[in-house]
A and B are shown apart, each in its own frame.
Chain A
Amino acid sequence: MKEKYIHILGLALTVIYFAFIVFLYWAEPRSLAEISTKSKVVIGTYQIDQQKFDEGLRAFRADNFIAARDSFDRADPERRDAKTQFYVAYTYYRQGWGRVYNDGELFSKGIEAVDRTIALNRDFKSDDSDLKLQTPAELRHELEEGTKTTGEDFNPLKLIRERK
């Protein structure tokens, strides 16, 4: 091979290898499997695991929120899908909701998840008719209200309110 072509090949391989190293230090994968997932995110071919998502949805509808969240997390390990993150936030809302008082810690995690949804797709609207809160803004408002302590919390009529 001519010297010129060896130089070009060397330069090209150096740039590719260096880009791969920069990618690894940027993406910080924890395992070899994660390298593949994060590569898909970078090249734009990342998709959620539909089977795990369906499993999560079934568990969500059966009020098994811990199992639902586990399935949603495995369906979307990179937290890149607005719909899945919306359901994750909803699991925190439904699990943390109480007729007398709400679980503040779960509601705070719900706010984090709903913020991720907003960051991914500000115009997201759920097509699930079982959910009374259809948009991230409505869900966030409900979660925020649930973490506040106000005089309204002592209203006995709160006992007859329903979970959304």
Chain B
Amino acid sequence: MNENKDLTIDDPDDLDIRGPLAGDVIRGASNRVAVSVSSAKANYFLYLLIPAIFLTVTLLGGLRLAGADSGFIFLPPPLICLVFSILLFILFFRGGLLSVSGWFSEELPTLTNVANASILLTVLAACAQIFNSLLPEGGVPFWIVSFCFFWTLWNDLFLDFDAKRFLRSTGGLLGLAFVVKYLFLQYFTAPSSQNWLTAIFENPGKEAFTWLLDLPRYSPATGYIQFFTLLLFFGGLFLLPRSTKK
């Protein structure tokens, strides 16, 4: 029984079955229609949903909420985040998560190549903002965590690994950075709603750490937003195909 008998197509020849992510078995008109429908869905998914995910990560990665009034603070990424994002991006290709020839090819139409480039640019922007989200804003913690990121990414450049291992390693690295910044350092940050005299008497240790480590006083909601951002980033990476070709 033909499952696609309800579909009415005026001109089946007008349907594009050669597009990215199209199905592979093409036998007869009914299957052609099915393949085209799944191809359209895959295109919506690839060219609309995936950029939206990575751009949302880009938007939220630099967002903090002020401790005093919960006002928005938009922090642009420091230069080091761009360096890290380039290194991570190179690792995506080296680790086999992305394939250059699968995203850019002379066989593909120019518009497809441009659309693919725009998706990869959103991935690059999201990578920069993820590092912006996970790096402490200043002081000694910034330099320590930056060094750890740099050391790990630089070593990874010269290792041989597959996509699965690479994703696990990246997940571990970014997850640990999240724990350090939003759980460990946050625990040592004094609340901002007190005057300095009360703060010194009530939280002398936290005040000292906040001052010594130059820790910013953000609202606890910032951690929740960044946790969601990190999950969204990994969700985007999970959905990102290695190649846009069949």
Contacts and interface: CB of A to CB of B under 8 A. Distances in A.
Interface residues of B, number: 31
Contact of A2 (B16, B48, B76, B122): B16
B59 A3 contact: no
A14 B51 contact: yes
Given A13-B48, A31-B71, A3 B118 contact: no
B114 interface: yes
Contact of B51 (A4, A10, A20, A30): A10
A49 to B, nearest CB: 21
- The B interface, classified by DSSP as helix, strand, loop or mixed, is helix
A9 B59 contact: no
Interface stretch (A21-29, A91-99, A101-109, A126-134): A21-29
B72 A3 contact: no
Contact of A24 (B74, B112, B114, B115): B74
A14 B117 CA distance: 11
Given A14-B122, A24-B74, A31-B71, A6 B55 contact: no
Interface range, A side: 20 to 34
Contacts of A154: none
Given A25-B62, A28-B74, A31-B71, A13 B43 contact: no
Interface string A41-54: 00000000000000
A8 interface: yes
Interface of A: 1-4, 6-11, 13-15, 17-18, 20-21, 24-25, 28-31
Interface of B: 16, 19-20, 39-40, 43-44, 47-48, 51-52, 55, 58-59, 62, 66, 69, 71-74, 76, 109, 111-112, 114-115, 118-119, 122, 125
A26 to B, nearest CB: 9
A42 B62 CA distance: 22
Given A1-B40, A24-B59, A10 B74 contact: no
B55 A17 contact: yes
Given A17-B52, A21-B59, A28-B74, A4 B118 contact: no
A13 B54 CA distance: 13
Contacts of A31: 71-72
